[in-house]
Each structure stands twice: as C-alpha cells, then as structure tokens.
Amino acid sequence: MASALQRGYATAGSDTGHAPDDLKFGVGHPDKIDDWAYRAVHVMTENAKLIIRNYYGRLPQYSYFTGCSTGGQQALTEAQRFPADYHGIVAGDPGHNRIHLMAGAMWTLAAASPLTAAKLPLITKAAISFCDAVDGVTDGVIDDPRRCNFDPGALLCKGGDKDNCLTAPQVESVRKIYDGARNPRTGERIFAGWTPGTETTWTTYFVGPTEPRRNEFWKLWVFNDPDWDWRTFDFDRDLAFADTKMAVINSVDADLRPFKARNGKLIMYHGWADGNVPAADAIEYFERVKLALGGSDLTTDFFRLFLAPGMGHCAGGDGPNTFDTIGALEQWVEHGNAPEQMIASKIINGVTARTRPLCPYPQIAKWKGSGNTDDAANFVCVMAPQAK
C-alpha cells in the first residue's frame, strides 16, 4: 500500500474479514469462508471507489489490483468473478489452485520422508551446477528448469550413507517431488512438481514438519474433525469430496472472456525458484486460458505471464527479483503498449548488481553473445527451445 501511495494512488487493502493466521474463523461460518475466498476484496473495491467519489467528486479513472501469493489468488479471483472491478490486474506467484496445492503439499510431505534438511543444499548445488549453463550464461541461476534433465541419481551414495551423497530412497524421493503429486492408486497427476533449484526451501514445507501445511483446512473446513489424521487421506474419495465441498476457495476458472471484453489487462508473474507454489502451476493455468480463449494471439493481447529465473516466492532468491509490474500495467492499460519485457534487478545492499529482462512466456531471455552478462541490454527475448 505504501508503494501505491508513493505513486500517487488512492489505496485500499483488506484483511478479508479475519485477523488471526489460522482457519478457526471459518468454523460454523461458511459466510466468512466466502469472505476470505472472494467476497471481501470485491466489497473493499466497491467501497473504495465510493469513498474516492465522495472525496474527489468523481470515480477513479483507472483502477488496478496487485497481489502476490494469496494476493495473487485474489487477483485471479477478481479477474474471474468480478471483471468490472479493475482495468488492470497483477497476479504474482498465485496460490489459486488452492485445494490441490494443499493436497499436493500433503502428498509431498509423505514423499519427502527419507530426506534430511542437511542434504538439501547438496541437491540444490548439484542442480544449479548441472543446469546453470543450459541458457548459455553461467551465473548461478537456472533459467528454465524444464530445459535441464538433472537427475538426483548422480548423487547416489556408492559406499553407504554419507553427508555428501543421497541414499537410494532419498534419490527416489527427490525424483517424486520433481515429478509432482500423483494419485497413488491411478497415477493421475494431482498437482505440479517443485523444480530443481528449490530444494533448500523444502525445510519450510516438506522436510522437517510433522504435518502438512494448512492441515487445519482439512481438519476444520473439509472434515469438521479437529482430530482428523492426515495419514488417512484418500486421494480418490477425499480429494473429490474437497473439490466439491470447498470449490469456492479455488480461483481456477480459465474463461477470462468477460474480463477481456471489458478491455481488462492481466500480468501474472512467478519465480522459477518458488518453493511455496511451483511455477509449473502458473504455466498450466496460462495454457488453460489459451485453450479457453482460442489460442495464443487471443490470449496475449490481454494476458501475459512472466517467469523470473532464480526468484523465490514473491521475492528473494539468487536471480533478479525487483521489477515494476504496475508501470508495465499502466503502459498497457492507459497507452496500449503491451509489455514485451520487464527489466528485473538484483539489488544487494542497496546496489544493483545485475539486471535481466523478464520475457513474456513462452519467450526467454537470451544473451546476445557479447557484452556484460549482468546487463539486461545485452539480452534479447526469443522463443524458448523445446523443453527436454
């Protein structure tokens, strides 16, 4: 909100109707779950516009929404449910496929059981070493993990378990996490996998915790049983039940034609090194929108996805992670200049150490072959080679 105020905007925010960071607020109050899922931001938006009208004597000329993580989910909810609320929307690292995100986290916690936190940096170091130069530039960042066939089997211990290698169960565990959550009975994919280069973040969610993140969702909202044991989860019956009962918390509708029809513009970005929500899930949503809209040209004229190599969840990471999405959105909405790239910066101790263009998916930034590889001016956006 402070950043928006500094740009001269009238600004509003919402706690979506609850303050504590737990899910007890929804027990016995499905209306409060609706508030959290979609209604609160919409009501905030309508009231903010009326307050602006009463103070300035007119409604705002342009309205923009920006959010990351759950805020990214809220951004997509606005585009999907309330296409008239905003002229432009920024959705960062969205946790929009919420039910399957949490089911995937549950599955991954079980799959990660052989791993130890001490060995995760070893895997990340090996993954970066193997994948770094695939994009033609050795800079300590994996540009697109899908283009690299890193196999953790390269770290297999030869003579018993040691600190600098992985046991066979640990190798298989990492392979499963990369591949993504699958129904143990049918093999059907439940949720996207986490990519090579994210391993050191797994301690927050998979390696160390004794129960899945947001386990309260299943206990309190789905099964109404505070004593429910996550180990009893049935990926056929229980996931289908949750998909039906709690569909309101998802923001997965790919039909954005009403938003487009109002000349709305949507920028979605995602960090490739995001260990919270995998970037592959954002790609899957973008591809579904393309299918729903009828092709790439009918999608990219109002919706563009930017993937940030080496960036973590909404921020951080080893790659350039500071970029101006609102400025790009203003140019698109107000002047018709679609973002062909966004310049991202890596700032260390207040000093810009590297810049790199972020390109609209499926393009990638390619080094021209000469000039400083820490300068965005020496890169050009090109179509990505076919992922291996």
Active site residues: 69, 274, 313
Dihedral of the alpha carbons of 292, 294, 297, 303, in degrees to the nearest 10: -10
Q: What is d(CA 273, CA 316) in angstroms, rounded to the nearest whole number?
A: 9
Question: What string of DSSP letters covers 267-289?
Answer: EEEEETT-SSS-HHHHHHHHHHH
The DSSP symbol for 386 reads P
Q: Three-class SS of residue 14?
A: coil
CA triplet 135, 313, 101: central angle to 5 degrees? 105
Query: Which residue blocks in the chain are alpha helix, DSSP H?
Result: 2-6, 30-34, 40-56, 70-81, 98-111, 120-131, 168-179, 202-205, 215-216, 237-245, 257-261, 279-293, 297-300, 325-335
The CB-side HSE value for 279 (13 A sphere, CA atoms) comes to 26
Q: What is d(CA 385, CA 388) in angstroms, rounded to the nearest whole number?
A: 9
Q: What is d(CA 386, CA 302) in angstroms, rounded to the nearest whole number?
A: 25
Q: How close are the terminal C-alpha atoms of the chain, in Å?
A: 41
> Beta partners for 308?
271
Residue in the block written with tokens 């432009």:
88
- 3-state helix, strand, coil split of the chain in percent (to 5) is 45, 15, 40
Give yes or no for a contact between 307 and 272, defined as CB atoms under 8 angstroms apart.
yes
| Tokens read off for 199 | 């391993």
Instruction: Give, in order, the Cα–Cα distances in Å from 4 to each of 138, 326, 329.
Output: 36, 9, 13
Cis bond upstream, residue 83 (ω within 30): no
3-state secondary structure string across 348-368: ECCEEEEEEEECECCEEEEEC
